[in-house]
Structure 1
């Protein structure tokens, strides 16, 4: 049996909260109507005279106010025993509570919310929109796989096993266009997921990254694809704009052919072609001089016979024909290659130019662009017995992606055939 400590009601409680309790024999509910058996027994029990005189209630316990000390407890301000008994458990509970909150937050964070937090953090750090868009696509594929194939919704549920399954899923399942993903695409998806997991660990959303013991997939270097002779002839024929020939059309034709021959004979990059000036052309030797940076040594790039003829034909007609087409004041006299309006060509203009050439020539395969001409120049130079060190000087870089891919292709062929290329 539990012992009930009975307390006296004050006058304020009697008149303010329990004014209806005036007679112990009145207002008693009948047993079994809306109250439990223990309460009915307590109400039915006889009331002592002391209870009647004091108005003491047998069941309701008056709440203790903040000013009243607990009965039977002597407390003195500054008592070390009291302070120790109160403060130590409070500190322990605080530390335990903070750890519990962190664990609860870490365990209850959804994958979707974690991805949104990561993308927002990338935007806050001024990441490029294309980079954020790529992360959003890659992590969206991961979230879809974890939900549809593994039935996982919480970030803490992701393990190395699920990531391995996601890699196999990406390798086997085709895209919405019905094509399989390349090894390079899958590797970029995995890099995005690894960066997301590392970010989650730094922000205490994950205790450990599931990529710790998972080797990252490396993309295979793409093989060199050369420009076919038929494609080259088609590009040269497509240099002539459609329609009736006129002065502006003839000028565009010789300019387009000169650009193609410069790219094919030198392996120059598009920004370097756009930056050529009249003073960079040595007509006597058939050489183009390219200076990458201020104070750097100039590169001297020789042109072939057909390249010289195409470039000189453009130079002979450029100024005289442009004067009859546009205002002479708008002509840039320093730039080598000009647009139809007399302004210097830009990399974007050359990109659009190649798009028009492919369409006119009926070339359907992708990648027929200035970089393809550069790769073709590298391969033809080395196959003709050119020196590798001199080639690196011509390209302007000690480490060229085209040279690396060519050397890799040559080494693989030597291993298969046992011969020197």
Structure 2
């Protein structure tokens, strides 16, 4: 028997199915927490829309409901990438729900959405990277005792040197860093591990943080430090929060660059693009980034060509 949910809350049928789907994503598909949050947000929005239309559970949602839900975003001029992501989430949920017997048919099987299109990622120039690092050093001289700036320097150097995702960087443990081989072992999407080389400046910044910054945030003393495996920690001694690291980087990017780049991912894009521009084999870049398919990595060849074309048009007298 279905009880009505208070306004704004999902019914027991909707919330229960969503919780089971989250468990499937987390424990059977090993999806990242960021991916799970995106699915949860999109599906919660879908279920609330369906519930407002009188549906009591996933089994009552129709293809027309799904199309109407997406059409609402189209009318609000949502980005094609957003609509494509939401449609993909609905298809994934109903494919799983059909397999689990939660619904008797898959209403999303024929759901189509606008193609997301390929937008080239923003990339820092070599001068931008130097400006970012110089800005961090300038602030360190002004605040020599601030551990956060040592952390920010290590984060920026490591993201750029190894092309890591911010989630991979936050998941690093001290045992994952090999000073002798100058490598870090990271756990990427799907819990797949890979070993990535890092440069001498990144290793130096990492050691400066571990020796000079990290200990300052262990208010409980050396005993607490000994049981915390994380390389990057927060002011309370716990593993660093991704959002805080992004905010630290955004402040530096805003002060040091003029192109509007933000977030941690710009360092990953920049590392890959600079390697391609420097002549690195595309498969080596794929391995470094941890991409499952070469097609994902090949966007950086387009970025490289696009940057070359812009430089040509601005510099060649007969362009």
Q: TM-score, normalised by structure 2?
A: 0.59
CA contact (8 A) 1:276 1:336 kept: yes
CA distance in 2, matches of 1:298, 1:132: 28
User: Contact conserved, 1:239 with 1:256, CA < 8 A, in 2?
Assistant: no
Deviation at 1:299, TM superposition (A): 2.4
5 Å-filtered alignment, 1:9-408, equals 119-120=14-15, 122-123=17-18, 125=20, 127=22, 131=39, 133-141=41-49, 170-171=73-74, 173-174=75-76, 180-191=77-88, 215=112, 217-227=114-124, 229-230=127-128, 233-234=131-132, 237-238=135-136, 245=143, 248-249=145-146, 251-274=147-170, 275-277=172-174, 280-282=177-179, 287-290=182-185, 292=187, 299-304=195-200, 306-314=201-209, 317=212, 322=216, 327-332=221-226, 335=229, 337=231, 339=233, 343=237, 345-346=239-240, 348=241, 350-359=242-251, 362=254, 368-399=262-293, 403-407=297-301
Q: Secondary structure at the match of 1:290?
A: strand
Q: Is the 8 A contact 1:139 1:193 kept in 2?
A: no
Q: Which runs of 5+ in 1 are unaligned?
A: 1-111, 148-154, 175-179, 415-421
Alpha-carbon distance between aligned partners in 2 of 1:231 and 1:221, rounded to the nearest angstrom: 25
2 CA distance for matches of 1:362 and 1:353? 14
- Give the whole-Å Cα distance in 1 for the aligned partners of 2:118 and 2:293: 15
- The 2-side partners of 1:219 and 1:188 are apart by 8
Q: How many residue pairs align between the two structures?
A: 273
Task: Identify unmatched segments of 5+ residues in structure 2.
Answer: 1-6, 24-35, 309-319
Assess if the C-alpha contact under 8 Å between 1:158 and 1:210 holds in 2: yes
2:166·2:264 contact (CA, 8 Å) conserved in 1?
Answer: yes
Q: CA deviation at 1:404?
A: 4.3
Relative CO higher for 1 or 2, CA cutoff 8 Å, sep ≥ 6? Answer: 2
1:377: how far off?
Answer: 0.7
Distance of aligned partners of 1:338 and 1:169 in 2 relative to their CA distance in 1, 3 Å threshold: closer
Deviation at 1:392, TM superposition (A): 2.9
- RMSD (Å) for aligned C-alpha atoms: 5.3
Query: What are the Cα deviations for residues 288-325 of structure 1, in whole angstroms up to 9, with x where unaligned?
Result: 242659xx997250305x43543454466458x74998
- Per the TM alignment, residue 135 of structure 1 is displaced from its structure 2 partner at its CA by 2.4
CA distance in 2, matches of 1:198, 1:298: 29
The structure that is helix-richer by fraction is: 2
TM-score normalized by structure 1?
Answer: 0.47
CA 1:273 to 1:215, structure 2 compared with 1: closer, same or farther past 3 Å? closer
- 1:385 Cα offset (Å): 0.6
Do the aligned residues in 1 keep the contact of 2:154 with 2:206 (CA within 8 Å)? yes
